[in-house]
Structure 1
Amino acid sequence: MTPLHCNKQGKVALITGAAQGIGRAFAERLAAEGATVVGVDRQDIQGFETALKDLGAGDAHYARVDVTDEAAVEALAAQVLDRFGRCDILINNVGFTPREPLEQITLAQWRLVMAVNVESFFLTCRAFVPAMKSNAYGRIVNISSDTVGLVIDGFAHYIASKGAVIGLTRALASELGECGITVNSIAPGLTKTPNTFSMFPDGKMFDLSAQAQAIKRPSTPGDLVGAMSFLTSDDAAFLTGQTLIMNGGQLRAL
């Protein structure tokens, strides 16, 4: 028997931060499972819709949207619901990962990290949950980070924001459970993406991280897609309010 999480036909999935990295891998997996996929990011990207349709997506759409902008998120929701009539899966993947010591973090930088990593999640949930409630069905997955449970310096604003994501996940799980909506989070470890390569261009940090793990190889976006597929499926109907740490079994701080 084919697992239910391998079939997303008839489902509409929206993914923020979908242009590259983890978000793009999620979009491709959901497309291969037959979902209609809406990718959202701040940058222009060519060929997204065609590539996902070629993978098997029921339909695909790409929207350039700043998800920290309240009006833009509301307009996005109206556009998606007008075109597709529903939103079954919402993946809040967009993230900003600066590294600065505490004394050098300005209030403006702190607020930007919170806006991207927390407020955008709140805005998309608030915009799409009413449609999920009307269908008595929804799967929300918020991307947090394993740094919440580690001892690591230079990321006070980032770690605080990702801790807030876990809190938001649990709060919404409690509020929305009776509506047929599950809310969970995935907390990846250091994963090889264009964003993290820009932070660690020599690649040494990936190898260092791998040596602190039970599974001693660097993580890639492909390592996360199976967990996402399950959490956004009918198989996961009784799982909510949880954070799944996906870091290869990291055993110690770097």
Structure 2
Amino acid sequence: MAKLANKVALVTGGARGIGRHYALALAAEGARVMIADIADGAPVVAEIAAKGGSAASATCDVSDEAQVKALVADTVTRFGRIDILVNNAALYATLAPRNFNEWDVEVWDKVMAINVRGPYLMVRHVSPHMIAQKSGKIVNIASGTAYKGTPRMLPYVVSKGAMLAFTRSLSRELGAHGIAVNTLSPGYILSDTGLGNTQHVEEEREKVRNTRAFKRDGYPEDLTGALLFLCSADSDFVTGQSLVVDGGSVNN
């Protein structure tokens, strides 16, 4: 039997980039998937349906509480429950690297609104459903940058460091309800959205590759095994943890 048969997964930022791969992987293991994004998720829904899976999509800005509430209500109406929440939506690919004192306050606040407030709002409105059923898996997406202190991306790195603390604290509060809260921390991954920003590629690709124990680029497919572990019964006694998937870069 598929690992996630009869489960319902809600994936934010699931219409493109790494999030698309998360949604496809969850569906391939039997989950019914709600894809939430500011971009159109219909193509991913069609991909999942073509492979015999079940999915739906909704437009949602995770920094807007009214939209988050509507998304959660829509998911429960469509699928009856929510077993898995993947907090993947984040502002990253469109950010141009710059020195710490060159970030406009407006950009800083936007990063924090999407990357920190967004996951909080998702958990705030999804958790009552998980508490009622006394089970759930929450996976917050952080980044290896939070461990390494990557320069010239300060607001992004700070926001991902916040996800590590968010997971640790939240796991203590939700553990009594049978809900696991963990973090998946990818290294620098060559996704379609990441490759769209040539400045990121020029500044990071070779430099990061040289810090890895495995001297190769990372791709979205390298992350899905870890995601499925954190979303399935295989990790039922794992909570409050961060799993770094970066080819051994953080070890250096």
Bucket of the pairwise TM-score, normalised by the shorter protein: over 0.9
Structure 1 partner of 2:116: 118
Q: In structure 2, do the counterparts of structure 1 residues 214 and 50 end up closer, same or farther at CA, with 3 Å as the change threshold?
A: same
Shifted more, 188-197 versus 174-183: the winner is 188-197
Q: Distance in 1 between matches of 2:58 and 2:87?
A: 15
Structure 1 partner of 2:198: 200
User: Is 1:13 the counterpart of 2:12 in the alignment?
Assistant: no
**Structural mapping, 1:102-251, within 5 Å:** 102-200=100-198, 203-204=201-202, 205-250=204-249
Q: Distance in 2 between matches of 1:181 and 1:214?
A: 34
The residue identity in structure 1 corresponding to 2:157 is I
The residue identity in structure 1 corresponding to 2:67 is A
Instruction: Report how many aligned residue pairs link the two structures.
Output: 248
Q: Distance in 2 between matches of 1:79 and 1:178?
A: 27
Confirm or deny: 8 A CA contact 1:31 1:53 kept in the other structure. no
Q: In structure 2, do the counterparts of structure 1 residues 102 and 207 end up closer, same or farther at CA, with 3 Å as the change threshold?
A: closer
| Ranges in structure 1 where 5+ consecutive residues have no aligned partner | none
Structure 1 partner of 2:63: 68
Shifted more, 186-195 versus 214-223: the winner is 186-195
**Alignment TM-score, normalising by the size of structure 2:** 0.93
| Ranges in structure 2 where 5+ consecutive residues have no aligned partner | none
Structure 1 partner of 2:45: 49
Q: Distance in 2 between matches of 1:178 and 1:251?
A: 32
Q: Secondary structure at the match of 2:196?
A: helix
CA RMSD of aligned residues (A): 1.7
Shifted more, 87-96 versus 37-46: the winner is 37-46
User: Is 1:89 the counterpart of 2:88 in the alignment?
Assistant: no
Q: Distance in 1 between matches of 2:199 and 2:108?
A: 24
Confirm or deny: 8 A CA contact 1:34 1:56 kept in the other structure. no
Structure 1 residue 202: deviation in Å?
Answer: 8.8
Shifted more, 188-197 versus 112-121: the winner is 188-197
Q: Secondary structure at the match of 1:87?
A: coil
The residue identity in structure 2 corresponding to 1:104 is E
